[in-house]
């Protein structure tokens, strides 16, 4: 009974949260609702007895949404509504609804006729965390390593993009030096433009 109550409670909460995320025109509401929705999803893992995945869901998504907040802070005045340009709202609604139905169809089509059964049923002798480790390092080793390589590539790319003037610290420089640096970079771009 408790499981059913928890399931319906969190299902409703998640749906409401992500609806707010999509519908609102206030950046702070959208971000907060998304963070809440992501954290509420972890409840499903806990209900299903997958404690490890539940905790990982919380840890990963608090950090990830935190990074989106940082972008939100840079791009918007988060205390005001974002004025969206809606040239053809009906078209957007029809397309959005169609995409949503399509996604549901794609996910459900292969499994709607079959009776779902666990490929790797819970082994009570082995703990939850160990079971994930076993599956991850045997059956799913290649996808796991590929994901690791992808993250490494993304990390190196991030460092290369962001690390251009890493040897200089704006905080430690005097005002004149910063002005000089800006002037020289501006003249450089001008010269490049002239060539």
Partner 1 sequence: MDMAFIIETIVKIVVILLVFSALAGLGTYFERKVLAFMQRRLGPMHVGPFGLLQVAADGIKLFTKEDIIPQNVVKPIFKIAPVITAATAFMASAAIPFWPQFTAFGYTVHPIVADVNIGILYVLGVMAIGLYGPLLGGMASANKFSLISAARSAAVFISYEVISGLSLLAPLMMVGSLSLVDINNYQAGGIGNWIVWSQPVAFILFWIAAFAETGRTPFHLVANDHEIIDGFGTEYSGMRWGLFFIGEYANMFFISFVIAIIFLGGFGDGTIAGAFQLLLKVAFFFFFFLWTRAAWPDVRPDQLMWLCWKVLMPIAVINVVITGLVMMF
Residues found near partner 1 in the complex (CB under 8 A): 2, 26, 28-29, 32, 35, 39, 51-52, 54-56, 58-59, 62-63, 66-67, 69-70, 72-73, 78-79, 127-129, 169, 171
Count of CB atoms situated within 10 Å of the CB of 35: 19
Pick 63 or 89: Cβ nearer partner 1? 63
CA distance 121 to 92: 42
CB of 177 to partner 1, least distance (A): 17
Residues 153, 158, 159, 160, Cα dihedral to 10°: 90
Give me the residues paired with residue 26 across strands: 81
Structure tokens at 119: 């490929």
Structure tokens at 146: 């590929």
Pick 116 or 149: Cβ nearer partner 1? 149
CB of 102 to partner 1, least distance (A): 33
Pick 66 or 136: Cβ nearer partner 1? 66
Run of H or E including 175: helix 175-194
CB of 51 to partner 1, least distance (A): 5
Structure tokens at 9: 């409670």
CB of 28 to partner 1, least distance (A): 5
136 phi/psi in degrees, rounded to 5: -65, -35
**Residue 26 · residue 3 · CB < 8 Å:** no
CB of 67 to partner 1, least distance (A): 7
Pick 66 or 97: Cβ nearer partner 1? 66
**Residue 29 · residue 59 · CB < 8 Å:** no
Pick 59 or 183: Cβ nearer partner 1? 59
CB of 92 to partner 1, least distance (A): 26
Pick 102 or 152: Cβ nearer partner 1? 152
């Amino acid at each position: 009974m408790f499981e059913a109550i928890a399931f319906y409670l969190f299902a409703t909460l998640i749906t409401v949260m992500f609806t707010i995320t999509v519908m609102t025109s206030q950046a702070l509401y959208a971000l907060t609702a998304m963070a809440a929705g992501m954290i509420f999803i972890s409840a499903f893992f806990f209900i299903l007895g997958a404690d490890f995945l539940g905790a990982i869901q919380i840890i990963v998504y608090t950090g990830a949404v935190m990074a989106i907040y940082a972008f939100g802070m840079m791009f918007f005045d988060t205390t005001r509504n974002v004025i969206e340009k809606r040239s053809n709202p009906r078209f957007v609604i029809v397309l959005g609804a169609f995409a949503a139905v399509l996604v549901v169809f794609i996910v459900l089509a292969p499994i709607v006729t079959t009776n779902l059964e666990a490929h790797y049923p819970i082994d009570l002798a082995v703990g939850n965390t160990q079971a994930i480790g076993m599956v991850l390092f045997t059956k799913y080793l290649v996808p796991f390593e590929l994901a690791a390589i992808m993250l490494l590539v993304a990390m190196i790319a991030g460092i290369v993009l962001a690390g251009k003037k890493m040897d200089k610290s704006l905080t430690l420089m005097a005002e004149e030096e910063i002005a000089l640096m800006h002037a020289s970079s501006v003249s450089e771009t001008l010269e490049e433009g002239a060539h």
